[in-house]
Amino acid sequence: MSDDILINIQVTLAKGDRNGVAKLTKEALDKGLSVKVILEDGLIKSMNAIGEKFKANEIFIPEVLIAAKAMHAGIAVLEPLFAASGIKPTGRVVIGTVKGDLHDIGKNIVSMMLKGACFEVVDLGIDVPPGKFLEIVQTKSPDIIAMSSLLTTSMGAMRETIKVLKESGLRDKVKIIVGGAPITQGFADSIGADSYAKDAATAVDKAKELLKKIPM
């Protein structure tokens, strides 16, 4: 019976049915399923499958956005119960589109998928100057900074942000992921980023990999 409702959650999430996911999540709780099981075997498992389809070009950004919103409808039901269930954030990520760039769709998808993987996400929005990333590292002590750029003209802001972090002595305190249409692995290496993600699903994988490299 528990397997049936978890499968229903997965299927309903994949369809992007926010109300359906929220309803099924509540039903699963009422049936006595643990928050952890619903989260991992229902919501996250389905979103991971969406991510793999996205990486394989089987689905595209609109479908991912719709599924991510459905996932968050389920998480909204579970989140008040996280602390009592012993569920802690996977890690803390600060994300933003860099200075000179007003695009946010890709950044928003990455943010949603990170939240779906139980990361605590601080979203700084668009046109984020290097000083703002520095300020948030100083005040929030994130594990990871995720920077997005969709314009070649704004790519330099990524380099400048890393430079500012180095000058402040905080570069070694945080891992950095960069991504966006014009970004390549070569560019990421040239500016001293820790990782490059070509899409949202890969960004989640890279974030998990980087967490393993952070001293406990």
For residues 72 and 21, membership in a common domain is answered with yes
For residues 50 and 100, membership in a common domain is answered with no
- Residue 98's nearest CA partner among 161, 141, 140 is 161
* 52 HSE (CA, 13 A, CB side): 6
Residue 117: the pLDDT is 86
Whole-angstrom CA distances from 16 to 19, 25, 47, 64, 143 are 9, 14, 11, 9, 30
CATH of the domain at 184: 3.40.50.280
For residues 75 and 146, membership in a common domain is answered with no
Q: What is the 3-state secondary structure (H, E, C) of the chain?
A: CHHHHHHHHHHHHHCCCHHHHHHHHHHHHHCCCCHHHHHHHHHHHHHHHHHHHHHCCCCCHHHHHHHHHHHHHHHHHHHHHCCCCCCCCCCEEEEEEECCCCCCHHHHHHHHHHHHCCCEEEECCCCECHHHHHHHHHHHCCCEEEEECCCHHHHHHHHHHHHHHHHHCCHHHCEEEEECCCCCHHHHHHHCCCEEECCHHHHHHHHHHHHHCCCC
Type of residue at 191? I
Query: Tell me: the pLDDT tens digits for 68-121?
Result: 999 999 999 998 998 888 888 899 999 999 999 999 988 998 998 898 888 999
Q: What angle do CA 189, 172, 192 make, to 5 degrees?
A: 10
Domain closes at, from 81, 101, 134: 81
Would you say residue 28 lies in a domain? yes
Domain closes at, from 44, 62, 81: 81
For residues 125 and 166, membership in a common domain is answered with yes
Would you say residue 86 lies in a domain? no
For residues 96 and 75, membership in a common domain is answered with no
For residues 200 and 103, membership in a common domain is answered with yes
For residues 126 and 175, membership in a common domain is answered with yes
Query: Tell me: the pLDDT tens digits for 3-39?
Result: 899 999 999 999 999 999 999 999 999 999 999 999 9
For residues 44 and 145, membership in a common domain is answered with no
Would you say residue 87 lies in a domain? no
Task: Over range 184-213, report the average pLDDT.
Answer: 94
- Number of compact structural domains in the chain: 2
Domain ranges, residue 204: 92-212
> pTM, whole model, 2 decimals?
0.86
For residues 71 and 130, membership in a common domain is answered with no
Query: Tell me: the pLDDT tens digits for 160-177?
Result: 999 999 999 999 999 999
For residues 45 and 96, membership in a common domain is answered with no
**At residue 88, what are phi and psi to the nearest 5 degrees?**
-110, 155
Residue 216: the pLDDT is 61
For residues 206 and 119, membership in a common domain is answered with yes
For residues 188 and 115, membership in a common domain is answered with yes
What is the C-alpha to C-alpha distance for residues 206 and 11, in angstroms, rounded to an integer? 26
